[in-house]
Amino acid sequence: MSKKFQLPKGTRDILPDEQSCWKQIAQVIREITRIYGYECLGLPVFEDTALFQRGVGESTDIVEKEMYTFLDKGGHSITLRPEFTAGVVRSYIQHGMASWPTPVKLWNEGSIFRYERPQAGRFRQFHQFNVEALGEKDPVLDFEIMDLAWQFYHRLQFEKLNFQLNSIGCPECRPHYLKVLASYYQKHLNTICEDCRKRLNRNPLRLLDCKQDRCQPVIEKAPAIYNHLCKDCTDHFNSLQDYLRSTDRSYILNHRLVRGLDYYTRTVFEVWAEGIGSQNAVCGGGRYDGLVELLGGQPTPAVGFAAGLERIVMIMQHQNQNRSEHAESLIYFACQHTDAQKQAIIYVNQLRAKNIPCMMGMGGRSLKAQFREANRRKAQYAVIIGDEELENQTVIVKNMENGEQKILNGDRFIQDFDAEPGS
Ligand code: HAM
């Protein structure tokens, strides 16, 4: 027997019964990006590996362990995008977007690839809705980005979400905080895990992100970075919180929130959802004022976020929202033999030209079998063309919901049929 292929680990098929959720998400994305003034930017699925090494950061989990990197046939190192932001910045610089009206407001949607350990809500290929605004340092833009995220979930009728907020400072004040953090951790070397001992030297901010039980009490009592910010970062953070409070956008200050990508400065935030297990972050983002310069452009402040769409679909299915979509009416033509089928082809073409969904039985099956198919496809009407109907140029129209049957003139039936027939 030949081998039965299975999905690669960490990937999934998006079957038709899930499509209504994806369609709804796509609609909301289009609505909110339009009303907030963001334009769509399509990006390649792969980029030079060095872009992500430099942009996301050499010592991040993404670059160290999770990238799908390979040499192409020309010997170039290529990486399937593990996020959008670095690609957006590459495109911003390459197309001279600094001369566009500021802030440049862009959004993307598409597949992202990370070689992670798969579990519920965590995949190796997943989708992000990504939003970036470049060229403005005003904290009101941080607010707008968070507000856009809030609106996104609100329009998808999500409840039980909470916004986690922190500021991780800037190159001015962060080094000072890291010294304070390191000296605090020196006192707890015997308590913390092996990984954290390594982090202490390599990437001390990530100490606050450790999930090991033994490190939790140490993290809880660690000095909070937002109490060690420079004046500019403090003012920025306070203004953002003022905007959030004045619009009743509730949030939780979380000094442990440091994010897993190296480019962040000042504001970082995540949106957490209840009821979908441990992978509960449905959105993450923040400010990255140094990234454009790091990737070869002029110093340019920027802020953005990305929302993971699979996790959103999981919640929508949990809330049964996909059931609410109105099923489109379908007309199914059941034909007795080839001549009837020829007539059905003409009718079906005429209806499809009016954008009315219809299909016909095939394969020379009995009328009974065709009816069964019409039922399984949840057709609202079955149209039967038998010998007598063909001769008289009529059709039998059966309402599949109440079983009512009518004999109608074929051409007239097609002509008069609109989306709400039966009248
Ligand atoms: P991120 O936090 O790495 O940020 O990813 C954003 C969101 O993608 C997460 O909150 C989660 O919903 C989803 N996600 C991440 N990994 C997985 C996975 N393995 N399976 C399923 N969903 C996942 C970024 O990617 C930044 N580029 C966001 C950003 C944009 N910051 C500024 N601008």
* CATH number where 283 lies: 3.30.930.10
Ligand 1 atom nearest 118 alpha carbon: 19
Residues 30 and 144 in one domain: yes
For residue 288, report the distance from its CA to the centre of ligand 1, in Å: 15
Q: Are residues 257 and 353 in the same domain?
A: no
Residue 59, pLDDT score: 87
Would 138 be classed as within a structural domain? Answer: yes
Q: Which of 289, 318, 347 is the last residue of a domain?
A: 318
Task: Say how many Å lie between the CA of residue 283 and the centre of ligand 1.
Answer: 6
Residue 274 predicted with pLDDT over 90:
no
* Residues 344 and 308 grouped into a single domain: no
pLDDT averaged over the chain? 94
CA of 82 to the centre of ligand 1 (A): 9
One domain, residues 69 and 136: yes
Same domain, yes or no, for 306 and 358? Answer: no
- Of 269, 287, 318, which marks where a domain is finished? 318
Asked if residue 346 is part of any domain, the answer here is yes
Q: What is the pLDDT of residue 423?
A: 39
- Asked if residue 159 is part of any domain, the answer here is yes
Confidence class of residue 278 from pLDDT cuts 50, 70 and 90? confident
Do 367 and 307 belong to one domain? no
pLDDT of 422 reads 43
Q: Cα of 46 to ligand 1 centre, how many Å?
A: 17
Q: What is the CATH number of the domain that holds 411?
A: 3.40.50.800
At residue 366, what is the residue type?
Answer: S
Are 345 and 318 in contact, with CB atoms under 8 Å apart? no
Q: Best mutation site among 65, 67, 109, 128 for ligand 1, i.e. most ligand atoms within 8 A of its Cβ?
A: 128
Query: Is residue 285 situated within a structural domain?
Result: yes
Query: Which ranges of 131-262 would DSSP assign to H, the alpha helix?
Result: 139-155, 174-186, 194-202, 216-220, 231-246
Query: Which residues pair with residue 71 across a beta bridge?
Result: 77
pLDDT digits (tens, 9 = 90+) for 197-237: 988 988 899 999 998 999 999 999 999 999 999 999 999 99
The reply to whether 50 and 144 lie within a common domain is yes
Is 11 domain-assigned? Answer: no
pLDDT in tens, 339-364: 999 999 999 999 999 999 999 999 99
One domain for residues 292 and 369: no
pLDDT at 307 over 50: yes
Name all residues whose Cβ lies below 6 A of ligand 1.
83-85, 114, 116, 122-123, 126, 128, 130, 132, 260-261, 281-286, 288, 304-308, 310-311
Report whether pLDDT(420) > 70: no
pLDDT band at 327 (very low <50, low <70, confident <90, very high): low
Domain end marker among 286, 318, 350: 318
Residue 255 lies in a domain: yes
The domain total for the chain is 2
* Per-residue CA distances from 402 to 317, 379, 380 (Å): 30, 12, 10
Based on the fold, state whether residues 44 and 85 are members of the same structural domain. yes
**Per-residue pLDDT, 277:** 76
Residue nearest to atom 22 of ligand 1 (CA): 308
Claim to verify: residue 241 and residue 290 sit in the same structural domain: yes
Closest-lying ligand 1 atom to the alpha carbon of residue 288 = 32
Of 56-70, 120-134, 210-224, 272-286, minimum mean pLDDT range: 272-286
Under the banding of pLDDT at 50, 70 and 90, the label for residue 421 is very low
pLDDT of residue 66: 98
**Residue 395: closest CA among 318, 314, 340:** 340
Query: Which region, left, alpha or beta, applies to residue 364 given φ > 0 means left and ψ of -120 to 50 means alpha?
Result: left
Mean of the pLDDT values across residues 255-261? 94
Taking the centre of ligand 1 as the mean of its atom positions, its distance from the CA of residue 419, in whole angstroms, is: 41
Which residues form the domain of 401?
A: 328-419
Judged by DSSP in three states, 246 sits in: helix
